Structure 1
Amino acid sequence: MRVLLIGGAGFVGSHVTDRFRAADHDVVVLARSPNRFNPSHDDVTYHSGDMADVETCDQALSGVSCVIHMAGSTVPGTSDQDPEADIRNNLLSLFPLLKRMRHHHVRKMVYLSSGGAIYQDKRGGPSSEADPLGPLTSYGVVKLAVENYLQIEARRHGLNTVILRPSNLYGPRQGRVGVQGLIGTLLWRVAHNQPIEIWGDGEIRRDYLHVRDIAELCLRTVEAQETGIFNAGSGLSHSVSDIIAKVRRISGRNFDVIRKPARAADIKTNVLCCAAAREVFHWTPAIDLDEGIADTWNWVLGNSRAALI
């Protein structure tokens, strides 16, 4: 199958590219810039540019059967700084893509939304796909808007849509220090002997998923016929203090922790129920948190010169 990976050179996208190559699919990547941590592959077709550009989009969609949309220009911590740009770059760019997909008769899309930014705080247990939504950032609002427009596209034009709501993703090639990803940021800072900064009392709890596990789920969604909305997480919650303790133990290094005031956009607890993905796609995460942090730490040590680029 020929599959277009939009954002296929990014942190998540580069791992999805690897998984689809290993499964012998014909991979096309559309990305704004290359991944500095992962070289290009001779058996992958690359297009550089934006999915809103008609000519670029037409070239990338030629002969494609399915699109996986992983591109994004903001994260929860930055989206509220310029909501207008968030909407323009991450929502409005969707419509020319959908139009060109109709033109090329591409009738399936897998979209990576967010399981961490759109649910309300549910301290009593994991959030399922049917639970109330309540995004607190522009990032979450835009992710949810894209979901809704994809469902309109499905009803009106027959697009087969799979929406994945991942929890907090981490793993090798996550190199944007201090912007997104607690685990990646901690490990990069520890590798450079820098202090750790956290917001609040360290008791915020999150669900963490290794990037290779979401890549595996992307493959299974493309190879299956089912559509719908599916959470993708470990189903386990870990506090910031838990993560710090694990990083200390696994890295074997000590470091200072600087505590800053809690942020209004940080809900107290976010953990996902992933029973639907397990039932429909026979998917469960294969990499536990300790193994995943160790894997990421070893990668960071081998790439520490690029940490602050």
Structure 2
Amino acid sequence: MRNLHQVKQIENQHKEELENLAIELVKEQFPIIEKFGIEIDAKLSSNVTVNAPERRKPKETLPDEFKNPAYKRRIINAITQGSAVSTHGIFHMLKDRLDAIDPNLISMYDELGKSNDIIYHLADKNQLANMAIMSNRQGMAAGSSTYSYNNGVYRIIARAQTFPVLVHEITKALFEIISIEGFELDKEKNTELVKYTDTIDSEFDDIINGRDIYSKIRDYVIDNFEQYLDRYPDFLLYFLQELYKVPSENNEFVNLINGILTGQPNRRKLKEIADDVFYDLRNDDIDRAFEE
């Protein structure tokens, strides 16, 4: 707590600079943001609340129609959380600029990150959910993010108490936009589906499991499609977007993910997805070149 208080004291003197740095850092990691004109509203705040934070798992049995889509949604949610967790420590890339603000800032960020990891892995999940609900009621959530879509433009809205969490939340919202491709049902049924999948109880499992799921998918793409990544640095996001379109019926999506996780990937299908993504990106480049 003492470290958190010290960090917030330092950050309060440099809020606008750090907010801009967070946006700049995420944009640098994911050029897709600039390509599609995604807007980012990111702010450091001591008063942070999360939308629908107290949603617990419904007592009703999951309808049969929702079972496969729900399992798919949970995996995608875990990947989304894993993508955000993967940014932890990325602030070291800004060492010179953060040192200029305060030379102790990075070490304090590291300590806060380690403390959070310990809590997530050792604390009881139900206890974590109750703590999150109480913190949110007091406006003391660590961070929150959402997105809007108006007039053909996506807008990320992220709030956090500290700079590393702000980077985390911006990234999470970006991957939530990507995850839209995973919905299979109509709008009304999708809204009903997330009542079962997007709960405070599930979120902590997603955070813990998501790190491993995301990193294994990322590593598979790096190891097998390096030539595509060389051409398109955020090829992984486009790959995930296409991967999420694989149907949940007959466990097709789940089996594809499990294959990567267990070291027995369906190489033919994954290459087919990667090739399709690459050729689409290349064709987009050609079309833009002719337009110019």
TM-score range, shorter chain: under 0.3
Which of the pair is proportionally richer in helix? 2
Q: Which has the higher strand share?
A: 1
TM-score (norm 1): 0.25
Structure having greater relative contact order (Cα 8 Å, sep ≥ 6): 2
